[in-house]
Amino acid sequence: MLNPLLPAGFSLAWSITVAAIAICAFTALVSLFRGRDHLRPLALAVWTVAIAAFPVLGAAAWLFVGRPQSKNAGDA
């Protein structure tokens, strides 16, 4: 249902923002569970809750700080 007080572009912008946040959180969760062999169960649970509770900050923290570094990262 369209709100007559808000322009359609505003609704579109919010929809795109929410979709981008959801994609970022989903990507972080997939990355988290693919690398779960390198994490303790408590750390896995804490990261999962952080990403679910704070999709932007939790996902960014996992993707930039929390992921284990690959062994070939320094070879480039």
CA-CA distance, 16 to 43, in Å (whole number)?
31
Torsion sign (Cα): 48, 50, 54, 59? negative
Task: Quote the pTM value.
Answer: 0.75
Domain limits, the chain: 38-66
Our measurement of the distance from residue 18's CA atom to the centroid of its chain's CA atoms, rounded to an integer in Å, reads: 12
CA-CA distance, 63 to 19, in Å (whole number)?
18
Tokens of 74: 């320094």
- At 9 the pLDDT is 75
> Mean pLDDT per 10-residue run, the chain (76 residues)?
70 90 95 89 94 95 84 56
Residues in the chain: 76
